[in-house]
Amino acid sequence: MVSSQTVSQPAGYYTYWHESLNYPGYIEIIVSSSTTTKTYAEVSWTADGVNYSNSVTVGTSGTAYFPVLPSSDVVFGVGNNNVFNGATETVTIVYYY
């Protein structure tokens, strides 16, 4: 869904993507590089009365996995918890079903 995209945020902000997904599966978020150790990947969705939201620390590089049910609005995010400095990340997001 996202292939080696470079994104930048101010301190304490996230970059988000929205997708409609038709099958249960899981999301892999790969941060191949980041300018901060305080990098997080997160996914949230609502489906069939289930509200899911989770965030995982990935640091300067890492991979996070999230379950997903079919939903018209699955939100993927990558960002930072820095207080003063912004951050830049290179991100790949894969949907497996």
Please report, for the domain that includes residue 49, its CATH number. 2.60.120.680
Cα(26)–Cα(12) distance, rounded to whole angstroms?
Answer: 26
Residue 73: which domain range?
2-96
pTM above 0.85, yes or no: yes
**Residue whose token pair is 């990947």:** 41
Per-residue pLDDT reduced to its tens digit, 48-92: 999 999 999 999 999 999 999 999 999 999 999 999 999 999 999
Instruction: Give the count of domains, the chain.
Output: 1
Per-residue pLDDT reduced to its tens digit, 35-44: 999 999 999 9
Six-digit token pair at 36?
């901060």
Instruction: Give the DSSP per-residue string, 15-34.
Output: EEEEEEE-S-EEEEEEEEEE
Give the end-to-end CA distance of the chain in Å, rounded to a whole number: 13
